[in-house]
Copies of this chain bind each other. A is one copy, B any other.
Amino acid sequence: MSQLPAAASDDVQARVEQICQYARHAARALAAAPRQVKDAALHAMADALVGASARIVQANAADLDRGRETGMKTSLLDRLALDHERIEGIAAALRELAALPDPVGEVVRGQTLPNGLRLRQTRVPMGVVGMIYEARPNVTVDAAGLAIKSGNAVVLRGGSAAASSNEAIVAVLGEALEAQGLPAGLVQSIDAHGRPGAVALMRARGLVDVLIPRGGADLIQTVVRESQVPVIETGVGNCHIYVDASADLEAVVPIVLNAKTQRTGVCNAAETLLVHRELAGELLPRLLAALGESGVTIHADEETARAAAALPGLQLEPATEADWETEYLSLDLAVKLVGSCEEAIEHIRTYSSGHTEVILSQDTAAVRSFTAELGPVAAAVIVNASSRFTDGGQLGLGAEIGISTQKLHARGPMGLAELTTTTWIVEGDGHIRP
């Protein structure tokens, strides 16, 4: 995505805008639809995916063949692969969405004013949601399901690696919607228009209400920089764990291992560990040894390197400035000793990507200052638990379309409510302004 054409051709721009117009029109059918209409559509979409699983698996096989030919890594091939069981899982996620409360119509604030005006600020759909994302075809279904449940239409631009799978999935979903009497325009793909199509989507101001990029840092930054449509920036997580001198030492090793190694390619994995100097003698070697046994390479500052010198077989590299800035997304961890909670806060303030920052501490003053100082810096501040909890499912949102690292509109995991906007409904009895 980093070498995008400066503009789409007029032809592609016009075709993408036509798709967006169709989505806009389709969204009207859903905006005021009662919950049962949306939930029935989600169940129909789930049924259709399972029913068409042979067709989808066949399309997926074409993507996998192309992937193997172009030398795609085994781990990526695995993420791309669909079989009947995975399709059942994807369909189950749609049924779970159907079971969630309807975000539309929720009254966020309301009151009757002294002059008798009755106010309520109510959630309404955005209209048209654009998604630009990479690889995994399950994102196609998740995005479609979240959009439908929140009363929106979605225009999808998936990764080219999953083009055949996505095409089949979007066709199946469109058929399911039409069978329910809803327009297929609610879920559309612009994959056929390649990168110029993505550029056209970013230029479709007034037709797309919000554009959500989901994928690597390069994709996200390109969209944030180039888009004329309002964007929600997602996902880069240079997450820190600070182990305070007062930490519950029994809890430290399990939490750090969980945060670093449970899944490495995700934005809520830990990337830098800051340890209070008082723990250098006893806890630090134990922690480094445990990380080493899990296959983690330590990028150590000088003091950490000295503490680690006695540990046999530990993968150790000297940390450079780049290490403090890097979201490894791999079994690598930068480690640094600090002299105080304040020093940890300063380091994090400098290098945070605004995602998740963790403190392990039993000291209320340290916890208070960490949360107060870093709350404005990060979307989530976690106390005595793993960074891996910054996730829509884990935080009880029920579903997630991405994790916002920006400050406007949504911050942290974005669920159904974040795909809505609000309107003020004001009811009077002939009121005029004095």
Contacts and interface: CB of A to CB of B under 8 A. Distances in A.
Interface of A: 28, 31-32, 111, 113, 117, 119, 121-122, 124-127, 151, 209-210, 225, 228, 230, 232, 248, 250-251, 254-255, 257-259, 262, 371-373, 375-376, 378-386, 388-390, 394-396, 406-409, 411-413, 421-433
Contact of A427 (B111, B384, B386): B384
Given A28-B373, A230-B406, A382-B426, 12 more contacts: A31-B373, A232-B408, A255-B431, A262-B433, A376-B423, A378-B423, A380-B424, A381-B423, A383-B426, A385-B426, A385-B431, A395-B426
Contact of A396 (B111, B124, B378, B429): B111
A221 to B, nearest CB: 10
Contacts of A113: 395-396
B433 A381 contact: no
A384 B255 contact: no
B383 A428 contact: yes
A431 B31 contact: no
B430 A251 contact: yes
A17 to B, nearest CB: 17
Contacts of A412: 121, 422-424
A383 B119 contact: no
Contacts of A125: 376
Given A31-B376, A373-B31, A373-B32, A210 B407 contact: yes
A119 B31 contact: no
Given A127-B376, A396-B119, A425-B381, A431 B230 contact: no
Nearest to A423: B375
A428 B422 CA distance: 33
A402 to B, nearest CB: 14
* Chain A interface helix/strand/loop/mixed: mixed
A380 B426 contact: yes
A258 B119 contact: no
A255 to B, nearest CB: 6
B422 A411 contact: yes
Stoichiometry (number of copies): 2
A412 B424 CA distance: 7
Contact of A381 (B232, B373, B409, B424): B424
Contacts of A423: 375-376, 378-381, 411-412
Contacts of A372: 31-32
B119 A428 contact: no
Give the interface centre of A254, A380, A389, A412 by most chain B CB atoms within 10 Å: A389
A428 B382 contact: yes
A119 to B, nearest CB: 6
Given A385-B117, A433-B258, A395 B424 contact: yes
Contacts of A390: 424, 426
A421 B411 CA distance: 7
A278 B277 CA distance: 82
7 contacts: A31-B373, A31-B376, A254-B430, A254-B432, A380-B423, A382-B427, A411-B422
Nearest to A254: B432
A386 B421 contact: no
A397 to B, nearest CB: 10
Nearest to A252: B430
Contacts of A382: 426-428
Contact of A384 (B31, B209, B428): B428
Contacts of A127: 376, 407
A213 B31 CA distance: 30
Contacts of A375: 31, 122, 124, 423, 425
Given A32-B372, A373-B32, A407-B126, A425 B383 contact: yes
A255 B407 contact: no
B122 A388 contact: no
Contacts of A126: 376, 407
Contact of A117 (B209, B257, B389): B389
Given A124-B376, A125-B376, A430 B384 contact: yes
